[in-house]
Structures are given as structure tokens and as C-alpha cells.
Chain A
Amino acid sequence: MTDLFIFASATAELAENVLPLGITEGGAWLLRNAWIIPLIPALSFVGILFFGKRMPRQGAELGVAAIGIAFVLAVLTGAAWMDHRDNYHGDEVTQAVIAVDHGDAADHGEGHAPEHPSLAVSNTMTWFQVGGMTISVGVLVDGLAVMMLFVVTLVSLLVHIYSTDYVGGDRRYTHYFAFLSLFSASMLTLVISENTLQLLVAWELVGVCSFALIGHWWEEKPNSDAAMKAFLTNRVGDMGLLVGITVLFFSVGSALPDAFGSFSIATTNTLANSGLLSHTALLVSATCLMAAVMSKSGQFFLHTWLPDAMAGPTPVSALIHAATMVVAGVFMIARLYGVFFEGFSIGGSSINLMAVVGGLTTLVGASLAFVQRDIKKVLAYSTISQLGYMVLALGVGAWTAAVFHLFTHAFFKACLFLGSGSVAHAVHSFDMKSDMGGMRKAMPHTYRTFVIGSIALAGLPPLAGFWSKDEILAGTGGWGLFGGTGGNGAYTGMLIMGMVTAALTAAYMTRVIYLTFFGEFRGHGEIHESGPRIVVPLWILAGLAMVAGLFNLPPGFQLVPESMQERFGHYVEPAAAYFPGISHASPSWSLAIFSTLVVMAGAGSAYWYYFIKVEAAAKASGQSLTELSNGPTSRWPLAKMGHNLLENKYYLDHLYTGIIAEGTKGPLARAVYRFNQQVIDRTVDKVGETAVVSGQFVYDKIDQLLVDGAVNTSGRLASEAGGELRKIQSGKVQSYAAILFAAATVLAGILIVIV
């Protein structure tokens, strides 16, 4: 879209008809050329594909090296961005503006910046031209993109290293690393996408990598079923993405004087913020895009693929289905926040689709995490629940809180997944109830890192999850006590859902820790701690799970100097025209203390049940128990029903797989095909037969007597044209042809006479 940008200094007269985009085409080399970061793993993918099998370590070394370089570059890019954010003074020469159709908009887009604006760095080139317009491809680098680059490359690097041990000796080791590389490249492309079309391409590519890696062991049907389910569910959401992007494309075009559409993210957001796009169009596209978010980021009611996706290798679950790909939906909302903020009227409201979806998801995920035997499924539902938190936060206007939670969650959830993989590596199973228990002694490192990750997830201070979750709760603006409010509206309902989830999260993680690491070992064989390539990544992630929260200490937090507060927000949240003017909630001591008490209550009740009651019962019976034989579900019918509902995952899978998918594949498809064969095709056959019969009649009764000459002529013409072919022509075909052409001539005559 470069040709759409003009530079303000050039034409002062246009000043009334232009909007600043808050992006610049200048900036440090590393920022302008961030496309190199995805390029490296992309090359590595090609390299592994063609030469991987011949390498001494079967291609793994190439994958690790590539993502390692990408990580270093991402860190350097991050540093460059920090410098850019603080020191790059975009003046009118370097700040890109866009020509718009109406002149009255300039006053809408003005700064949300208390300080000088953060100018995102944009660098584009032409991708293709069609329909008289140019579609570009390029990078849009700002705090959000840089943060994502860091998270993706870091987690991916750790997962690569971990995988060299975890999937060592696998039947498709090389293939596995090739897809890890392709995934990393696609995901990195996604986070620096300059326009929605590029985003869509990367979005689908990460989806297909996810498909391939979930189905990594495709010999077993459940695995390929899970991969199919993931892909198809995401396709359902992608319908929304296709339609949403299309609506945005044209509604942006209607606001521009010289183009009928535009995919540019910065342009779209700026126009949305400035009120130049119709609210209806924004609402429609935001709702459609929401469908894509629901499938990609596992939001209720399109979340059902994510737990099944655990059929893939565990490091894949950590990378794709916890830390990176599943947050793509959250990222997209954050990226197109102007559209969502205006479309859902987030500011000054108290309820909207996004907040409700997020709130319900967080509850649904947390409740389902309770009844799983499979440790990875607990974590999967937990991921759903935490993604719900992020969407909820975006829905209430707490942008930085959501993005910060994305950041912290990536570390502690990856830590937990890799921890579960370490356990499973030892016992060759994911079933907590039948094959685990008492593993803290044999696996001290895994145990400690897992507990750290759990506390971070549960959200107890001062670990990472506490800070980001607390920000989200404060951001709902629903906490009226003691002055801690002032968000974008009073989303009290969302605050309550978030609180309940906090308690549930602490409780189910306590259950997991008990079932896995306490009690007596219920599995078979000798277990011992995993090797360094597994343990070291665990400790790195655990370390980050401890300290990541400190990057964004709340403003006005009296215990630290001001220069250490809100560092994450300062560098990540855009202060530019393409970002909507959101209000920030002020944090509250009372809310922080209350939520901590809620978490402790949740953890405490699970502790009382497992560590005291079950443990005592186990001692009494001399066995290793996982639940009380006379627990609530066996005593109270209502609890039993609730438990059944959860065991059946709210019956959503029955609806989707059993009714919708099977119904389409079975009765509906068969009915359509029967219609095809019995009705349409039979009609064709009948028409053909009738034609033959009447043709015979015409030939016998009319042709021979009346139009003999005419047919002879056309027949002769056909023979001459046929030439050599005549010898092999069957007489039948020839006479059909002759009759048809004669008929055509007659028909043409009739038509000309009539009309």
C-alpha cells in the first residue's frame, strides 16, 4: 500500500484530508528488516526437507541452529525497538499518513500518548497487482510484534532443544523438525504481518503445521482424527476470517479516495479509530473475525479441538497449543484492536460479545479441567481457560493486561506442558490416575519446575501469573471498592467470572500436583529424572514464570521506584493513531488481596480434599488412592449429574462430531448423491433416450421424405471435415452429430425469426 501513503510535508493543502497512521518507514535497520527472522526458519525448513536425512543429526541441528539465530535476532530487534520507542522522534517527514475521503476526521485520530508517540516501523513491497490495485507484503513492527517475536523464538528454541531428547529415535524425526521449522517461520510471519491478507496466509499455514504435528503419529487413527478435527474446526472459524477480512477490505476502500479496498492493518485501524468507517461494517467484521478467534484460540464453543490436539507430541503441545499458535486469535484482536474496540463499542459499555465469549470460555475450560485423568488434557483445558482470560481482557478494554497475560502464560504454560512431557517420558503414559503418583522423589527437577509453573498459573504473588491476572481483573473496571477502577466500563460480570476461574484454577492445579507427584507411585517400572536437554529448558521457563510478572509492575505500586513500573506497557502498548484511545484502569490493593484470598481458598479446598482426606483414606486402606470412594459425586445426585455433564464435555463433541459432522457426511451427503443419480442424472438419461427415439421417428417418417437434401448436405460437410477420422468414426455418432447440427440450424432460424 506504499503508494497510498503520501508524506504530509509534501502537500500542506492536503492536511485536512489526511490522517497520520502512527507508522514510519524509517527506523533502525533491524526493525525495517524484521522479515529476516521468519526467513531463517523458512530456509531451515527447506534445508531439512531436502538434506535433513543425510545430516549427522538428521536435520535437528539445522532446526535448532536456525531458531537459535532467529532468537538472537529477535532479542536484538527487541533492544532496537526499546531504543526506537524512547528515542525515535517521528516528525512530519517520516510519519506516514493516509489520504482519506472526508476532511472532517483529523481531530479524531489524535494522540493517546501521554509522551511522544510510538511510531511503528513499516516496510512493504508489492506482492501482486490485480483489479487495478496493488497488494503489498511486508512488516509492521511495533511493541506487540517485537514481544511476539521474542516469545515465539524463545519458546520455539527451548522446544527444539527439548525435542532432540523427547522425540529422539522417533520414526519421523527429520520430518518432525522440518515441520517445527515451518511452524516457526509461519508463526513469525504472522506476528509481523503488515496486512490482513498476509495475516490470513500465515494464519492458515500455522494451522496446517498444527494439523501435521497433531497427526505426527498418523498410523493410529485417533491421532489423525484429532488432526482432522483441529483443521476442520479451524476452517469453520476461518469462514469468519474470510468474510471479516473481506468486509473490512471494502469498507476501508469506501473511505479512501483512490482505492476500492485495502488490507493494510494500520490503515484499517486508523480509519476505525477516527470514526470514518461505519459502525455496522465494523460490527459485522468484528463479529466474523470473532468466529476465527473462537476456533484458533479455543474459545467456547469452538474449543473442542484443542483437548484432542493433545494427541500430538508433547513439545508440540507446549509450543503450538499453549504458547504460540493458539494465541494467534488473541494476537489478531490485539492487532486489529481499532476494529474490535469500535465494532463492539468496548469503551463505556458493560457487556459485549467478546467479553462474554472470553468469560464463558474461562469458566468452561476451568470446570472441564477438573475431571480429566490425562495430565495433558488438564493443561489443555487450562489453556482454554487462560485464553478465555485474555479474550475477556480484550473484551473489557484491558489491552495491555491481555497481552501481558499472553506473555506470562507462554512461559508458565510451556513450562507445565514440558513438565508433563518429562513425567510422561518417564512413565510412558499421560494417565495421572493409573500410571503416576509419588513422582516428586524420583524427578526432583520436574517436580519443582512443575510446582513453580502451577503457582504461576494459579496466580499467587509474586509469580508471573499473579501480576497479569490481577491486571485483567482490575481492567474489568468492576471492582468498585476502595477506588480501584476506572477501566473502559463497569464489566462486573466479567470480574465475577474471572474471580471464580481464579479459584477453580488453583484447585485443579492442586489436584494435578497431588495426583502426579504425591501419594504412592501407581505405574510400573523404574522411573528417573529426564536428561539435561529436558531439564534445562524446564528451569529456564520456570525462572521466567517466576520473574516475568515483574516486567509490568502496576503503576503507582508503592514498593518500587516509578521507573520500574509498567515497563511492559510502555514498550508494548502502541501510543499511535492506529491504536484506539482506551482508558486504563488503576490497580487496587484491595482487589489484589481479595483475589489472592480467592486463589488460596480454591487451592485450600483442593488441598483439604486431596492432601488430607484422600491421603488419610489411602493410609487407612494401604493403597494409593486418587479419590474418595464416598466422595460428593457418589452421595449427591446433583453432583453426580454435574460430574456427568463435565465428563461428557457439555455434550459439545456429541453435537459436533456425532450430529453435525456425521450428519453431513452420512445422510445429507448420501441424500444429495442419491438426488444426483436418481433425479438429475436420470433426467439426462431419459432425455437422451427420448431424443434417440424421436430422432429415429424423425429419421424414418420425416427426414427420409422431407428434408433429405438438407441432412445430406450437413452430413457431407461433416464427412469432409472429419477427413481421416471418418474411418474410425462409428456411424452412430455421426448420425447423432448430423441430426444435432441440422437441429441447430433450424433452431437458429426460429430464434432469429421470433425475437
Chain B
Amino acid sequence: MENLLDSWGLTAATFVPMLGVALMMFVPKEKEDLHKKIALVTSLVVAVIGVLLLVQFDLDATGQLQFAVDHMWIDVINSHYAMGLDGMSLPLVLLTMLVVPLCIVYSWDHFPAPANPKAFLMLILILETGMIGTFMAQDLVLFFVFFEVVLLPMFFMIAVWGGEDRRYASLKFFLYTLFGSALMLVSFLSLYFLSGAESFVLTDLAQAVAENGISRTAGLWIFGGMLLGFGIKVPMFPFHTWLPDAHTQAPTVGSVILAAVLLKLGTYGFIRIAIPVLPEAAVEWAPWIGLLAVVGIIYGALGCLAQTDMKRLIAFSSVAHMGFVMLGISTLTDFGINAAIMGMVAHGLITGMLFFIAGSIKERYHTLDIARLGGLLLKAPRMGWILGLSVMASLGLPGLAGFWGEFPAILSTYNPANGLPVETFRTYMVISALGTVLAAGYLLWLLQRTAFGTPTEEFADLDIPDVTRHEWIAWTPMIALILAIGIYPNLIFRVTDGAVDASLNECLQVNTQEMSAEDIEALHCAPVYNLGSGAHVVDEHAVSGD
């Protein structure tokens, strides 16, 4: 069993959904119940594999790739089928494996028009393969393929099951992300050729860059391409405009998956590929990433305040929340990237919950116009309280998951990695702290206008059913996790910490204050890290220098 898991675990986790898809292809469209059952069982099998992987995962070696497999795949271009799981990918893989079955359960009885569960569920399963594969791939070509596999099912989900403006939204989503992918591919290819690596496997690439070196200009361009590719997916300001449209038009489940997992593919790309492979370019880009992140935090929050549609508001809040994630990443510190992964998981759970609730409200009221809602707590008290809890989690209330993505990110900004401008980042810290106020503003305003007060006249006599059984099943695990991570954040940090530490270049992290000049010399760090030479080190702790 153990051996089987070691050699086949990751492959199984990735491709079992495709087995489900293959099976469903042979079942006629009319047998809807059978389709639902196959899809659910498939996703549950994947989840069980996930649990087995988690049980077998060595928590004392989170920095190493576990269950790794590496076979030659396309030998013309030296691409490998290399998969692996470490502390950075594990939480996101598990998140994916959790969200997919919950989405299937949620849509059990009410598929969005034009129904057709067969196609809908097949798309969800294809999505799952793409998402899990992206988080596990250790080869850039493989990563790229999985990254793109995600694109089409989501495109169809929006284009076929979406709202009124679905054509525009889906095409925009598709083209925008495809544009990013193209640049990403440019970067991957250039990286491979310029570094002279043996293969597209990440470790080979990183090693080649470290040993053979790569010109500063090339590094900056390549990182820039990845920045666009991943940044569009995140989405970072100013490449975010596809997101509100896609979210607003997507069916509920599509929005949930989009928010919970898809956006994380971008941020994951930064911490898995861009920063470990090109640390020096990362140092030079980081202040700009940080700048876009804080602009996104404030801008997204202000955008939220202008919304009249609940779903669009939640979508815009993603821009702000992912800004915190990017801010943590831009510090290039262990602390900040841990916070970022925590932020990804928390945002996935919390915003996923918010989209679920928005979907359920839409189903009951047939509108998401905030001005027409109100008094949800009177009509459906349980749903109202769940909305309240999710809103509180989203605004970063301590004791709930969101806080542990937000506060550590702000904290890490005070002391960014070697080579980053300290004053600039401290300015970012203060601005991002302002973002927490605005977040409270738009979220509580949303809560006040939808949940508090009394129902508007048009809905005063409408019978609004409270949380249904399927909703309970779908929501309970997410709420439980929001609470559990909030109370005991070590659930995530324990897993991620070692991996993040291992992924970061030593030059980013060393504390030069404690070291002699010779020791610093011995590290052979590039000038970009600004390590100085021991005796006349630039004081990182500006305010403690006095």
C-alpha cells in the first residue's frame, strides 16, 4: 500500500477524475442520477487518496518533494513527467480535493440552466484534474499543460451555464488568461534555452540558473513574463478586470471553484516557479509587485464600495484579498510567503463560502441587487448567521482563518528580505493596514444591507426556505475549517513552513548582523541582495538603529 502510494499516489490523485469522465462518456445523458453519483464517487475517491497522501506525508520533511515520480515524457524537448508534493502544494491540493465534492453536492438538485448534469459534471472533473495536476507538476511543460487544461472547462462553464452576459465574460476570461499563458510560455521557453538546463524539471532549471548564471536583463524579462502570466490569473491590479465579469456571470459552483482554487494557480506559480528559480530577478521586481499589491488592496476595496450587486462585490473583494497574498509574497521572506499560502487557503474557503451563499440567495430571491435584499436574518436566520460568520472571516477577524493570512502578511512587510527597500515596504505596510479598515467597511455594509433590517416590500410575503440539507453538507466542512484554522493556524503553518524555507534562496534570508565579513563573502551572494560585507552592513532595522 505504501509503495503503491509512493509511486502511483500523485498520478492517481490527478487522473482519477479523468476515469470518472471516461465512464460518464458512456452513460447516456438522460441518466442524470447516475451521472451525479459517478461524479460524486469519483471526487470522493480523489479525496480519499488525498487523505491517504496526507496520512503518509512526512511532516518533518515538508521541504522535500514526497511521493515524487520522474519519467521522461517528451524527449524531443527534454520534458519530464515529474510530479511531487511538498508543504507548499499540499494545502492547496487538499483544498481542491475538498472543494470539488462539495460543489458537486451543492449542485445536486439545482443545476443552473440549461441543466445537462452530464456535461456540467464532466467539466468539473476535468477541472479537478487540471487543478491538482498544476499543484503537483514539477516540470514546466507539464505545469503549463495542466495550467491550460483548467482554462477550457471554466470557459465552457461560464459560456454555457452563465448569466445573461455570459458570452462576453467567458471570452474575456479565456482570452485574457490565454494571453497571460502565452507570455508565461515565452518565459518558460526562454528560461530553458538561456539557462542551458538539461530539462524542464524545476530543480534542473534552478540549478542551471544558479550554476551557469543568466544575464540580469534576461532574468528580468523572463520574470516579467511570468509576472504577467501569473499576475493575470491572481489577478493583480491592473490585470483584474476579467475577474468581476467572470465571477458575476459564472454559475455558483463555477464562481466557487474560480475563487477557491483557480486564482491560487497564479500565486502558486510565483512561489513555486518564479521566485525559487529566479531569486535575483525577484528581488528587483519585488517592490513593484508590492506596489501593485497594495494598490490592489485599496483599489479593490474602493471598487467594492461602489458595487450594487452582491456577487460582483464579492468578486471585487477578491482583488483586495489577493492583494494581501501578493504583498506577503513580495516580501520574499519565509514569514510573508507562509502568510501568503495561509491567505490562499483562507481566501479559498471564505470567498468560496461567500459565493455559495450568494448563489443560494440568488436562487431564493432571483436577484442579487443589494438594495432589494434585506432582512435575510428574519427570513432565513441560519443562512443570515452563516453569512455573518463568513463576512467576519473575510474581513480578517482573529479567531477565524482570514486573519492569519492578513496580519502575518502585514507583519512581514515591516522587514522584507535582503536587498529590498525597507522604507518602501514599511510604507506598504501602513497602506495595507488601511485596507483592513476599508474591508471592514464594505463587508459590514454588505451584511447590514442584506442581513439586517426588514425585508423589502416585494419580498415581505415571499417564503424563503432556510439552509437546505445539501447546503448544510456542502457548507459545514468549509465553516468547520474556517474555525479550526482560525483557532489553530498551525494546521497550515506546520505544513508550509519547512517547504517555504527550503524554497527560498539563502541570500534572501541570512541575517548579516550576526555574521562576520568572511562568512558573508563565503555565501557568494549577488550584489542585488545588498548584503554589504559584515562590518558596514546597512542596518535593516532602521528604527532600531536610533
Q: Is the CB of B190 within 8 A of A131?
A: no
> Please, how many angstroms separate the alpha-carbon atoms of A224 and B441 in the complex?
13
B 391-440 contacts with A by CB, 8 A: 392, 397-399, 403, 407-408, 410-412, 414-415, 429-430, 433-434, 436-438, 440
Q: Is the CB of B407 within 8 A of A242?
A: yes
Q: How many residues of A contact B (CB 8 A)?
A: 75
A 232-251 contacts with B by CB, 8 A: 232, 235-236, 238-239, 242-243, 245-247, 249-251
Chain A contact residues, majority secondary structure: helix
Stretch touching chain B among A29-37, A213-221, A296-304: A213-221
Q: Is the CB of A725 within 8 A of B152?
A: yes
A741 interface residue per 8 A CB criterion: yes
Q: Which residues of A contact B444 (CB under 8 A)?
A: 228, 231-232
Q: Which residues of A contact B412 (CB under 8 A)?
A: 131
> Please, how many angstroms separate the alpha-carbon atoms of A245 and B430 in the complex?
13
A278 contacts which of B242, B410, B546 (Cβ < 8 Å)? B546
A481 interface residue per 8 A CB criterion: no
Q: Is the CB of B501 within 8 A of A744?
A: no
A 243-277 contacts with B by CB, 8 A: 243, 245-247, 249-251, 254-255, 257, 260, 277
Q: Which residues of A contact B189 (CB under 8 A)?
A: 744-745, 748, 752
A 701-748 contacts with B by CB, 8 A: 721, 724-725, 728-729, 733, 736-737, 740-741, 743-745, 747-748
Q: Is the CB of B544 within 8 A of A744?
A: no
B355 interface residue per 8 A CB criterion: no
Report the minimum CB–CB distance from B513 to chain A (whole Å). Answer: 8
> Please, how many angstroms separate the alpha-carbon atoms of A383 and B181 in the complex?
60
Q: Is the CB of A205 within 8 A of B398?
A: yes
Chain A: CB-nearest residue to B336: A131
A127 interface residue per 8 A CB criterion: yes
Q: Using an 8 Å CB-CB cutoff, how does the interface string of B436-455 with A read, 1 for contact, 0 for none?
A: 11101100110010011110
Chain B: CB-nearest residue to A218: B452
Chain B: CB-nearest residue to A217: B452
A16 interface residue per 8 A CB criterion: no
Stretch touching chain A among B98-106, B128-136, B215-223, B363-371: B215-223
A680 contacts which of B181, B241, B397, B490 (Cβ < 8 Å)? B241
Q: Which residues of A contact B377 (CB under 8 A)?
A: 218
A560 interface residue per 8 A CB criterion: no
Known pairs A254-B544, A751-B221; A249 contacts B335 (CB<8 A): no
Q: Which residues of A contact B408 (CB under 8 A)?
A: 130
Q: Which residues of B contact A260 (CB under 8 A)?
A: 415, 511
A129 interface residue per 8 A CB criterion: yes
Stretch touching chain B among A311-319, A334-342, A620-628, A670-678: A670-678
Stretch touching chain B among A160-168, A279-287, A517-525: A279-287
Q: Is the CB of A280 within 8 A of B334?
A: no
B302 interface residue per 8 A CB criterion: yes
> Please, how many angstroms separate the alpha-carbon atoms of A242 and B409 in the complex?
11
> Please, how many angstroms separate the alpha-carbon atoms of A231 and B451 in the complex?
17
Chain B: CB-nearest residue to A668: B302
B302 contacts which of A131, A205, A672 (Cβ < 8 Å)? A672
Chain B: CB-nearest residue to A234: B440
Q: Is the CB of B338 within 8 A of A204?
A: no
A483 interface residue per 8 A CB criterion: no
Q: Using an 8 Å CB-CB cutoff, how does the interface string of A189-218 with B read, 1 for contact, 0 for none?
A: 000000000001110110010000001001
B 196-227 contacts with A by CB, 8 A: 215, 217-218, 221-222
Q: Which residues of A contact B375 (CB under 8 A)?
A: 219
Q: Is the CB of A748 within 8 A of B186?
A: yes
Pairs A-B, 6 closest by C-beta atoms: A278-B546, A669-B305, A128-B490, A673-B306, A131-B335, A201-B398
15 contacts between A and B (CB under 8 A): A126-B490, A128-B489, A131-B333, A218-B453, A236-B437, A242-B436, A249-B414, A250-B414, A669-B302, A725-B152, A740-B179, A748-B185, A751-B222, A752-B193, A755-B217
Give residues in A with beta carbon < 8 Å to B: 126-132, 200-202, 204-205, 208, 215, 218-219, 221, 224-225, 228, 231-232, 235-236, 238-239, 242-243, 245-247, 249-251, 254-255, 257, 260, 277-281, 284, 661, 664-665, 668-670, 672-673, 676, 680-681, 684, 688, 721, 724-725, 728-729, 733, 736-737, 740-741, 743-745, 747-748, 751-752, 755
